[in-house]
Structure 1
Amino acid sequence: MPLPLAPLIPLAIRLGLVATTTVAVTRWVRSSTHPGRTDQRAEDALDDLGEGLSLHRPADRAEDRQTNATARLRRVVRFRGRTYEIDAGLMARFRLREADE
């Protein structure tokens, strides 16, 4: 007895479109981004952050109206008999200056 394949054609077309789109987007993202680098100074600065959230304006940057923010979260999570250590750090700078035209 022959197997009717006609009802599977729309599903096959959809899956093919999804796979093609995924490959195209992956190639585009990889081509438009650079591999990056690891700066040891930045790694050391993130390791020296205190836990919690900090927001401050440096006195020597008052004319730039610069604001700095830091955040760090360190937790130990136990899940299904395994232990994971989460260490997330963030450093940010926002500077607002008047541009010379």
Structure 2
Amino acid sequence: MPLPLAPLAPVVARVALRYGAVALVAYVATQVREPARRDQRAEDAMDEADEGIRLRREPDQMNGTARMRRTIRIGTHGPGVEIDATALGRLRLRRV
């Protein structure tokens, strides 16, 4: 026996409208945004960072770097992925 679809129409319309709006916002955000530029000096600084967490404090600021490099393989000789995560940070406090 077939089920009547008329009672489900408002629910389906509401869900479709909600997901359609989210999809439209995501599409517009990807089309309008211009690609970010790549600063080679920042890339070189991230490549030169040592693995682990390093903090350096000077009289007027505190700098920190963190780097984690890992290789994940499927099996012993299988395909792998290298993960290289680097973060640079600076905290500067001044009295005004």
Instruction: For residue 6 of structure 1, report the CA deviation from its aligned partner.
Output: 1.3
| CA separation of 1:34 and 1:14: change in aligned 2, threshold 3 A | same
**TM-score of the superposed pair, with normalisation by structure 1:** 0.73
Distance 1:33 1:94 in 2: 29
TM-score by length of 2: 0.76
Shift of 1:30: 4.9
Distance 1:2 1:29, change over 3 A: same
Unaligned stretches of 5+ residues in structure 2 = none
Q: How far apart are the structure 1 equivalents of 2:2 and 2:49?
A: 68
RMSD: 2.7
Q: Structure 1 residues 14 and 34, CA, compared in 2 at 3 Å: closer, same or farther?
A: same
User: Which of 62, 79, 82 matches 1:85?
Assistant: 82
Report deviation, 1:32: 8.4
Matches within 5 A, 1:1-101: 4-26=4-26, 29-30=29-30, 35-58=35-58, 62=59, 65-79=60-74, 81-99=78-96
Task: Name the aligned partner's letter for residue 41 of structure 2.
Answer: R
CA change 1:79–1:14 in 2 (3 A) is: farther
Counting matched residue pairs gives 94
CA distance in 1, matches of 2:88, 2:14: 43
Following superposition, the deviation at residue 98 of structure 1 comes to: 1.4
Q: Distance in 2 between matches of 1:36 and 1:73?
A: 24
Please, which runs of 5 or more residues in structure 1 have no aligned partner?
A: none
